[in-house]
Amino acid sequence: MNMLYPQFEVIRNPSRCINCRACERQCANEVHGYDENLKIMTCDESKCVNCHRCVAICPTRALKIVKTDHTFKENANWTEKAITEIYRQAETGGVLLSSMGNPEQHPIYWDKILINASQVTNPSIDPLREPMETKTFLGKKPGKIERDENGNLIDNLPPHIELNMPVMFSAMSYGSISYNAHAALAKAARELGICYNTGEGGLHKDFYEYGENTIVQVASGRFGVHTDYLNAGAAIEIKMGQGAKPGIGGHLPGIKVGADISKTRMIPEGTDAISPAPHHDIYSIEDLRQLVYSLKEATNYKKPIMVKIAAVHNVSAIASGVARSGADIICIDGYRGGTGAAPTRIRDSVGIPIELALAAVDQRLRDEGIRDKVSIVVGGSIRNSSDLMKAILLGADACYIATAALLALGCHLCRTCQTGKCNWGIATQREDLVKRLNPEVGAKRLVNLVTAWNHELEEMMGGMGINSIEALRGNRLMLRGIGLTQKELDILGIKHAGE
Amino acid sequence: MLLKEGQVRIPAGCAISGIFHKDGKKENGERIIKSISTMHDRSNGLGGGFAAYGIYPDFKNDYAFHIFYDSNRAKDECETYLKENFDIIAMAKIPTRRHPRITDEPMIFRYFVQPLQTVLAFSQLDEKEFVVRKVIHANHNIKGAYIFSSGKNVGVFKASGFPEDVGEYYMLENYEAYSWTCHGRYPTNTPGWWGGAHPFALLDTTVVHNGEISSYDANRRFIEMFGYSCDLLTDTEAITYIVDYLNRRIGLNYSEIANVIAAPFWSTIEKKPEEEKKRLTYLRNAFASLLVTGPFSILVGFEGGMMALNDRLKLRSMVVGEKDETVYIASEECAIRIMQPEFDKIYAPRGGEPVILTLNKGGNAQ
Ligand code: SF4
Ligand code: SF4
Ligand code: SF4
């Protein structure tokens, strides 16, 4: 007996299907089959994760996946989701696992914030005729000048990252995503003049050549961390937390640790790669300071150090501590941020929205007069260029995107990355699946996406009479809230529309 | 209810004009009034003002505070505060003449002060920083009192009204200055509060400004980290604080300040020789949050000098005329021609390229 009724139905239009069996070959979840006797395609929809691979590949558009209308007796409290989760746990006794970001119906503040434009008193600027500048530097500002004996200014800027536009690809480890996905991200980052992030799985030797466009991550598992690695990138990111699973570590199952990953992560083949929940050498803020400075020592003070934290309740106090720990850049990951795998309960109910976290942190650092001592990068569901724009207006220096980048590579947000059977060649290590993602094509699509966003950003900047990203950062007067309470407006530091 | 300036941000368009005598020669306010009156249509009678340098030779080492008071209570409170921190060398009502078009006037007083040495020493601040903090504190906290001029040997005179009327009202024919700037305001809506008129001043830095900056809140939220309080929510106030911060606190000279607030485009920087490229990149990166965008033309007055600057796209007009040792600058050419029909040289500075004037060596501005 199985109490779980399949979530989706695979609908095949028999008048269109030509029995080419392409869907059968493409579905790693083994949904489709072929009945040799009856000469018809069959399917087991219980295995379907709704990733649309078969739909996209079917030459006659014979397939569609629909949500089943099979239903429980309606109950606003005991929803279908609540009930089936109980069945699953009663069956397995395990922690529920999910992937990608929090899909729950919480408010999306980006959608309740509106952007300003110039009228009459201040001309808008046509981005097609006038320069529109999106070049961004991340890192500390010196806050004072020094001059040589001739009175010329000395460059006393601490190390920083230079980006052509205020966007970076967020951390996704080699292991959680495929070699080809990494290759696409690295190539695109180089072409765009931005950075991608290795995640916590080390850096494959093939990708050292993209160093200038790479952020190397040091996480609690310290996988693949060695001197060359630390010096290979444009910056080093210490991962303290992740928006999708604040407070807990990571787990890459042994079956995904093949020869290549084993080498890159510096762990034996086939062993589970477990990142502990805390860094076992960081139990407090002074310990973080030590790690920040050890990494600076290891890289001769040439690389900015980033510290990534999850957006939790007291994020502004934490960020203030991080800013004083010597970190050059703080990365804040909101609770809608993606993940390869996280316990469902944590993903869906721990952490806070990035919009509120960003607004609180930016204001707190200003109140303490140290906003200039650190750059702020935010991620955790930046879905389009207006989210990006709003984030910068609230006070971010740049944004991290990951889910959006994976979508550009073909991800269909089926949220089953944890199974390792990604039909799109992204969250998988199965060679036949990885092959489906062509790094050149993937890179092109990423370049297209970010370039398009940048154009849109320029259009909106021009509309508000701003021709440089610096003048956008923290310019909250350009934002208005809609349908927000006074408390929410206060936290966001913006006025309501009409005010 | 109509909100007062400071409670709401009011954009404004405007006219500006300035005269600078490089040889330190002084003239009274008559010509500058004539100049600004030619641009009458660029103001709408809701604000005008002047800054004059070198006008208090007898008190040249004292800070000259010009203060508006809404009430006697505000005056008492402010004077108590001043006495706690300063030695008041002299004080008087600022002389004005009755003027049919200048109404609703506050009480306007002038004080020449010196910081109390004991209080100054206790604060562990340098003298200028001490004065700045006291001025900002008073403006932020004392309701109905507004210190609108606080430099040595310089004075700001402003009011709600057309600038030429404001000039007559303050009897500017009685002040002799080597440097004059003035401003006529065209706010899009305002209850016409006197404090909202230009110039804005902090110590010897005064700013008149034509335009509306689009970077306002980015600049404001940044500069407020350093103890400034933008109480009036106007662009000019923010620009004044930015100039004070970069010059007095950071130590940049005026041409470097221009490279920060009207930084060249990256594409322009790219084409410069290596050294210059490095310098400009440094300034732009190190002080990124003080880049000012949107249309502006400003005249920044300071002790012994003046800087004229346009935004980097030059979205506001500005003309400079030179005749012998005197330089005339205004939003429109007619406004300088009326002061001086013939020029040795007349030109419109390019966007982002500052015109910096200073007294000649030995020029006597006392
Ligand atoms: S899992 Fe994906 S490929 Fe397989 S049937 Fe479902 S939608 Fe098609
Ligand atoms: S891919 Fe389409 S046409 Fe081919 S077997 Fe599957 S459903 Fe039929
Ligand atoms: S990466 Fe692959 S498995 Fe993960 S959500 Fe996207 S399509 Fe699904």
Q: What is the CATH number of the domain that holds A12?
A: 3.30.70.20
Residue of A8, A55, A66, A419 best suited for mutating to test ligand 1, as the one with most atoms within 8 Å of CB? A55
pLDDT tens, B298-335? 999 999 999 999 988 877 789 999 999 999 999 888 88
d(CA B20, CA B53): 10
Asked whether the whole model's pTM tops 0.95, one would answer no
Answer yes or no: is the C-beta of A56 below 6 A from any ligand 2 atom: no
Residue B365, pLDDT score: 44
Contacts of B222 in chain A (CB under 8 A): 366, 371-372, 474
Residue B43, pLDDT score: 63
Work out the pLDDT band at B9, boundaries 50, 70, 90: low
Q: Which residues are registered as beta bridge partners of B182?
A: B17, B50
**Interchain CB distance below 8 Å, A153 and B313:** no
Contacts of B257 in chain A (CB under 8 A): none
Residue of A10, A12, A30, A34 best suited for mutating to test ligand 2, as the one with most atoms within 8 Å of CB? A12
**Interchain CB distance below 8 Å, A137 and B13:** no
pLDDT tens, B254-286? 999 999 999 999 999 999 999 999 999 999 999
Residue with tokens 């900002």: B136
Q: Which of A116, A121, A124, A141 to mutate to test the interface with B (most CBs of B within 10 A)?
A: A121
Residue A471: exposure state from Cβ atoms within 10 A (0-12, 13-18, ≥19): buried
Contacts of B282 in chain A (CB under 8 A): 153, 155, 157
Ligand 1: residue whose CA is nearest its atom 8: A54
Residue B313, pLDDT score: 82
**Interchain CB distance below 8 Å, A472 and B218:** yes
Nearest to B214 among A118, A371, A474 (CB): A118
- Other CB atoms within a 10 A radius of the CB of residue A486 amount to 9
**Amino acid present at B200:** F
Please choose, from the candidates A330, A473, A329, A398, the residue with its C-alpha nearest in 3D space to the C-alpha of residue B290. A473
**Amino acid present at A223:** F
Chain B: give the shortest CA distance to residue A114, in Å: 16
A to B CB pairs, distance under 8 Å: 111
Residues B220, B225, B228, B229: what is their CA dihedral angle, to the nearest 10 degrees?
60
Whether A311 and A413 share a structural domain:
yes
DSSP B222: H
Residue B8, pLDDT score: 55
Residue A136, pLDDT score: 95
Tell whether the model's pLDDT for residue B7 goes beyond 80: no
Does the CB of A160 have a partner CB in chain B at under 8 Å? yes
- Give residue A330's domain range: 136-496
Contacts of A193 in chain B (CB under 8 A): none
Does the CB of A124 have a partner CB in chain B at under 8 Å? no
> What DSSP element (H or E) covers B284?
helix B274-286
Ligand 3: residue whose CA is nearest its atom 7: A411
Please choose, from the candidates A359, A304, A358, A298, the residue with its C-alpha nearest in 3D space to the C-alpha of residue A327. A304
First to last CA, chain B: 48
Whether A183 and A263 share a structural domain:
yes
Which CATH number does the domain housing residue A203 bear? 3.20.20.70
Q: Is residue A2 part of a domain?
A: no
Whether A160 and A67 share a structural domain:
no
Q: How many structural domains does chain A have? A: 2
DSSP A57: H
Whether A329 and A476 share a structural domain:
yes
Work out the pLDDT band at B1, boundaries 50, 70, 90: very low
Let me know if domain B20-209+295-355 sits in CATH 3.60.20.10: yes
Ligand 2: residue whose CA is nearest its atom 3: A17
For residue A23, report the distance from its CA to the centre of ligand 1, in Å: 8
**Interchain CB distance below 8 Å, B295 and A142:** no
Residue B213, pLDDT score: 86
Whether A56 and A142 share a structural domain:
no
For residue B199, say if its preceding peptide bond is cis, omega within 30 degrees of 0: yes
Whether A280 and A375 share a structural domain:
yes
Nearest to B217 among A122, A371, A476 (CB): A476
Q: Answer for the pair B341, B36: CB distance below 8 angstroms, yes or no.
A: no
Instruction: For A124, name the nearest residue in chain B, comparing CA atoms only.
Output: B294
Q: Is residue A354 part of a domain?
A: yes
Domain ranges of chain B: 20-209+295-355
pLDDT tens, B344-363? 999 999 888 899 999 997 54
Residue A108, pLDDT score: 94
Nearest to B265 among A118, A133, A145 (CB): A133
Residue with tokens 């012998």: B324
**Interchain CB distance below 8 Å, A475 and B215:** yes
Q: Is the dihedral of CA A13, A15, A16, A20 positive or negative?
A: positive
Q: Which residues are registered as beta bridge partners of B281?
A: none
Whether A81 and A145 share a structural domain:
no
Looking at chain B, the whole-number percentage of residues with pLDDT higher than 90 is: 70
Residue B364, pLDDT score: 46
pLDDT tens, B159-191? 988 889 999 999 999 999 999 999 987 665 455
Whether A58 and A188 share a structural domain:
no
The token pair at B243 is 């100039």
Higher pLDDT, A101 or B252: B252
DSSP B78: H
**Interchain CB distance below 8 Å, B212 and A371:** no
pLDDT tens, B77-107? 999 999 999 999 999 999 999 988 888 889 9
d(CA B190, CA A65): 60
Q: Is residue A126 part of a domain?
A: no
Q: Is residue A240 part of a domain?
A: yes
**Interchain CB distance below 8 Å, A474 and B250:** no
Q: Answer for the pair B8, B233: CB distance below 8 angstroms, yes or no.
A: yes
d(CA A411, CA A426): 7
pLDDT tens, B200-214? 999 999 999 887 889
The CA radius of gyration of chain A, in Å to the nearest whole number, is: 24
Whether A64 and A140 share a structural domain:
no
Nearest to A131 among B252, B267, B288 (CB): B267
Please choose, from the candidates B159, B259, B147, B250, the residue with its C-alpha nearest in 3D space to the C-alpha of residue B203. B147
Whether A407 and A327 share a structural domain:
yes
Residue B328, pLDDT score: 95
d(CA B129, CA B131): 5
Answer yes or no: is the C-beta of A58 below 6 A from any ligand 1 atom: no
**Interchain CB distance below 8 Å, B222 and A369:** no
Residue B14 appears among annotated catalytic residues: yes
Q: Is residue A122 part of a domain?
A: no
Helix axes B254-261, B235-244, angle to 10 degrees: 130
CB environment A15-25: b (16+ within 10 A), e (fewer): eebeeeeebbe
Tell whether the model's pLDDT for residue B13 goes beyond 60: no
Nearest to A470 among B9, B252, B288 (CB): B288
d(CA A337, CA A401): 9
Residue B363, pLDDT score: 47
DSSP B265: P
The token pair at B184 is 């006529």
Contacts of B315 in chain A (CB under 8 A): 123
Whether A348 and A481 share a structural domain:
yes
For residue A65, report the distance from its CA to the centre of ligand 1, in Å: 8
CB environment B100-117: b (16+ within 10 A), e (fewer): eebeeebbbbbbbbebbe
**Interchain CB distance below 8 Å, A145 and B251:** yes
**Amino acid present at B74:** A
Tell whether the model's pLDDT for residue B45 goes beyond 80: no
Whether A84 and A214 share a structural domain:
no
Domain final residue, candidates A71, A94, A117: A94
For residue A37, report the distance from its CA to the centre of ligand 2, in Å: 17
Q: Which residues are registered as beta bridge partners of A305?
A: A236
Nearest atom (ligand 3) to Cα of A177: 1
Contacts of B263 in chain A (CB under 8 A): 468
> What are the pocket residues of ligand 3 if the criterion is a CB atom closer than 6 Å to any ligand atom?
A 51, 99-100, 406, 411-417, 422, 424, 426-427
Q: Answer for the pair B248, B203: CB distance below 8 angstroms, yes or no.
A: yes
Ligand 1: residue whose CA is nearest its atom 2: A51
Instruction: For A499, name the nearest residue in chain B, comparing CA atoms only.
Output: B8
Work out the pLDDT band at B366, boundaries 50, 70, 90: very low
- Render each residue's pLDDT in chain A as its tens digit; 499 residues: 888 889 999 999 999 999 999 999 999 999 999 999 999 999 999 999 999 999 999 999 999 999 999 999 999 999 999 999 999 999 999 888 888 888 888 899 999 999 998 887 777 888 888 889 999 999 999 999 999 999 999 999 999 999 999 999 999 999 889 999 999 999 999 999 999 999 988 899 999 999 999 999 998 888 889 999 999 999 999 999 888 888 888 777 787 788 888 888 888 888 888 888 887 888 888 889 999 999 999 999 999 999 999 999 999 999 999 999 999 999 999 999 888 888 889 888 999 999 999 999 999 999 999 999 999 999 999 999 999 999 999 999 999 999 999 999 999 999 998 888 999 999 999 999 999 999 999 999 999 999 999 999 999 999 999 999 999 999 999 999 999 999 999 999 999 999 8
